[in-house]
């Protein structure tokens, strides 16, 4: 049977163990085959566990660390001074084969730097990338990468993002993923040199299902399964989604609470609606994965609550079951073979 152990950076995020420990317990209840290693302050974690009344130590163990990386820490300093931090030790457990995946809601830059240092990139991958999925109007998902791990990319790196995203999405979808480039127009002549060169490379790669360019207003239209862009554009895009959604939701709430619509049915209707709209923020609710490493690393939002952090653990479990790093390597090999012959 496949080993299914997830190492959790219990101290990461805005809240820390009060979120990560209950989320771990929820995940253990949900996946009977799962084991969890909680990395962080043993006293705090133990106290949280006893409050929750959880005592099945056959599936849960604690690795102690009294170092936490702050959100303002520079990645270079995290590498120099925080190799014993909860985040670093959690990633280390994956590198040593003690766990098959790591989840953290800590500092993204430090997570990227420590993951590259401890796990290394897959052969043929220049830079790991952050990926997450947006909902679409038809109920499907669109994966988008990179979301901020790489502020500038060349065409080759963008191409590798397409390979990685395509491998991940295909595992979810069970069919080849439609790949698009995020651009400022649908036509071939649109955009900067980088996206144009990447489009040329993708057109010549028959093992990827490239469908062309996609614009920001088409992201929710279920046209593509995977959308590639550099980390600057992807980060602005994802955060703009988040900001626009929040702006609409706030406007709607003010309008509803200031209205003459009263009564039980209306209240129920709106509270359902608000919950549904709020849980649509992909970064907040599903976590993002760092793809392209020799191991699985899932990044949860810093302000994630128990539900959101559980989602991130669930994503890690799915990626272990689907052996995502191996799938990416295989996909990369196919693409490289195609290029050489």
Residues that bind a copy of itself (CB under 8 A): 72, 74, 137, 148, 151-152, 182, 184, 187, 189-193, 215-221, 229, 231-233, 235-252, 255, 259-261, 265-266, 269, 273, 276-277
Q: Minimum CB separation from a copy of itself for residue 88, in Å?
A: 20
Candidates 275, 277, 285; CA nearest to 308 is 285
Whose structure tokens read 């989604």?
Answer: 241
Q: Which is nearer to a copy of itself, 44 or 252 (CB)?
A: 252
Could you give the CA distance from residue 288 to residue 99 in angstroms, rounded to a whole number?
A: 19
Q: What 8-state DSSP symbol labels residue 217? A: G
Provide, rounded to whole angstroms, the least separation between the CB of residue 248 and a copy of itself. 5
* Cα–Cα distance, 56 to 301 (Å, whole number): 28
How many angstroms separate the CA atoms of 290 and 112, rounded?
A: 8
Q: Report in angstroms how near the CB of residue 227 gets to a copy of itself at its nearest.
A: 11
Q: Which is nearer to a copy of itself, 17 or 75 (CB)?
A: 75
CB of 75 to a copy of itself, least distance (A): 9
Q: What tokens were used for 33?
A: 């085959």
Q: Which is nearer to a copy of itself, 207 or 247 (CB)?
A: 247
Taking the complex as a whole, the smallest distance from the CB of residue 273 to a copy of itself amounts, in Å, to 6
Please identify, using beta-carbon distances, which residue of 92 and 231 lies nearer to a copy of itself.
Answer: 231
By the 8 A CB rule, do 293 and 115 touch? yes
Decide whether 51 or 244 has the Cβ nearer to a copy of itself: 244
Q: How far is the CB of 137 from a copy of itself (least distance, A)?
A: 6
Q: How far is the CB of 261 from a copy of itself (least distance, A)?
A: 6
Phi-psi category of residue 134: left, alpha or beta, with phi > 0 → left and psi -120 to 50 → alpha: beta
**By C-alpha distance, which of 140, 141, 160 is closest to 149?**
160
Please state whether beta strands 296-299 and 288-291 pair in parallel, antiparallel, or not at all (unpaired): antiparallel
Instruction: Give the whole-angstrom CA distance, residue 170 versus residue 172.
Output: 5
Question: How many C-alpha atoms does 149 have within 13 Å on its Cβ side?
Answer: 29
Nearer to a copy of itself, 135 or 292 (CB): 135
d(CA 266, CA 254) in angstroms, rounded, equals 15
> Which residue's CB is nearer to a copy of itself, number 179 or number 229?
229
C-alpha 317/C-alpha 28 separation (Å) is: 11
Query: What SS3 class is residue 100?
Result: coil
At closest approach, how far in Å is the CB of 240 from a copy of itself? 4
Whichever of 2 and 152 has its CB closer to a copy of itself, that residue is 152
Minimum distance between the CB of residue 237 and a copy of itself, rounded to whole angstroms?
A: 5
Exposure of 14 in the CB half-sphere (CA atoms within 13 A): 8
Residue pair 185/213 in contact by the 8 Å Cβ criterion: yes
Closest to a copy of itself by CB, 122 or 182: 182
Give yes or no for a contact between 147 and 235, defined as CB atoms under 8 angstroms apart: yes
């Amino acid at each position: 049977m496949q080993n299914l152990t997830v190492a959790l950076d219990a101290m990461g995020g805005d809240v820390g163990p009060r979120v990560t420990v209950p989320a771990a317990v929820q995940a253990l209840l949900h996946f009977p085959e799962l084991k969890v290693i909680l990395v962080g302050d043993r006293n705090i974690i133990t106290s949280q566990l006893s409050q929750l009344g959880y005592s099945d130590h056959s599936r849960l163990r604690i690795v102690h660390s009294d170092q936490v990386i702050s959100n303002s820490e520079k990645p270079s300093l995290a590498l120099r001074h925080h190799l014993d931090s909860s985040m670093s030790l959690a990633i280390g457990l994956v590198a040593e084969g003690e766990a098959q995946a790591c989840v953290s809601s800590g500092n993204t830059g430090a997570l990227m730097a420590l993951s590259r240092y401890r796990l290394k990139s897959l052969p043929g991958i220049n830079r790991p990338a952050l990926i997450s999925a947006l909902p679409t109007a038809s109920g499907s998902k669109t994966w988008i990468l990179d979301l901020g791990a790489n502020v500038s990319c060349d065409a080759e790196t963008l191409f590798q993002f397409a390979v990685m995203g395509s491998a991940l999405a295909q595992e979810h979808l069970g069919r080849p993923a439609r790949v698009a480039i995020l651009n400022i127009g649908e036509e071939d002549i649109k955009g900067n040199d980088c996206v144009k060169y990447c489009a040329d490379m993708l057109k010549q790669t028959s093992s990827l299902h490239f469908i062309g360019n996609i614009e920001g207003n088409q992201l929710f239209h279920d046209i593509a399964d995977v959308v590639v862009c550099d980390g600057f554009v992807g980060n602005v895009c994802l955060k703009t989604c988040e900001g626009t959604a929040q702006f609409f939701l706030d406007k709607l709430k003010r309008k509803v609470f200031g209205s003459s619509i009263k009564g039980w049915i209306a209240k129920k209707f709106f509270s359902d609606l608000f919950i549904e709209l709020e849980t649509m923020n992909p970064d907040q609710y599903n976590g993002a994965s760092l793809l392209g490493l020799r191991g699985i690393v899932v990044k949860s939002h810093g302000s994630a609550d128990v539900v959101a952090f559980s989602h991130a653990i669930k994503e890690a479990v799915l990626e272990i079951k689907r052996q995502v790093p191996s799938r990416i390597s295989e996909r990369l090999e196919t693409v490289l073979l195609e290029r050489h012959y």
